[in-house]
Structure formats: structure tokens, C-alpha cells
Amino acid sequence: MIMIIFTFSMITILLTILMMSMASMLSKKTFMDREKNSPFECGFDPKNSSRLPFSIHFFLIAVIFLIFDVEITLLMPMIMIMKSSNMTSWLMINFFFLLILIIGLYHEWNQGALNWAH
């Protein structure tokens, strides 16, 4: 039994190596263009220095969006379990969860992190 598993594993590994080698040999491009081989980043000129100034405010807005996006994904299952749970505990948990979210949003708004004035 162990010998059969070992044989199939070796065949799988050899077949994988063979396929990767064939793909590597067949996918080589003969025409090398400097512009096509240079990295492309949307919105940035790749011919200049890669150390361009980046807006910290934009980064902060993106992080805040990700945090609140994750919170939305945590709210969705709470709606699904509403019928199968105790209504009093469900309301208290949702109230405190939304209260924490609203306080966090108010804090970000009060700190000026949501103003796009820069």
C-alpha cells in the first residue's frame, strides 16, 4: 500500500516538473523590448525614481475603509442568526457592536481623517 502511494507521488512530481519545464521552454519570447519588460504601475511613471511621495491621507482613508469593510462582514451573520437566538441578547450585542462602530466613526470624523482637503 505504501509502495503504491510512493509510486503515485513520484509520478505526480515528475509529471509536474515535466509540465513546468515544457511551459518554461515554450513561453520564452524571442522579441525583448525594453518598454515591455519594464514594470508598470498604474498612475506612476516607471522611468523615474520609484521613491515618489505618496499621500499618507489616502493611505489612512484606505485603512479606515478596510476596517469598516471587515466590520460589515461581521454584521452580516448577525442578521442571519436573528431568528435562532435570544432576542434580548441579540439586541444588546448588536447595539454595543454598532455603538462601538459609531463611536469609532465619530472619532475619525472628529480628528479630520475623513476630510479630503489635502
Task: Please tell me the least confidently modeled range out of 2-11, 14-23, 51-60, 67-76.
Answer: 51-60
Q: In this predicted model, what pLDDT tens digit does every residue of 88-108 receive, in sequence order?
A: 998 999 899 889 988 988 988
Taking the domains of the chain in order of start, what are their residue ranges? 2-111
Least Cα distance to 53 among 40, 43, 39, 67 occurs for: 43
Q: In this predicted model, what pLDDT tens digit does every residue of 28-86 receive, in sequence order?
A: 655 566 666 666 666 555 566 656 677 777 888 888 888 888 888 888 888 888 888 89
Exposure b/e, 56-67, CB count within 10 A at least 16 = b: eeeeebeeeeee
pLDDT of the residue at 59: 81
pLDDT of the residue at 113: 76
pLDDT of the residue at 14: 96
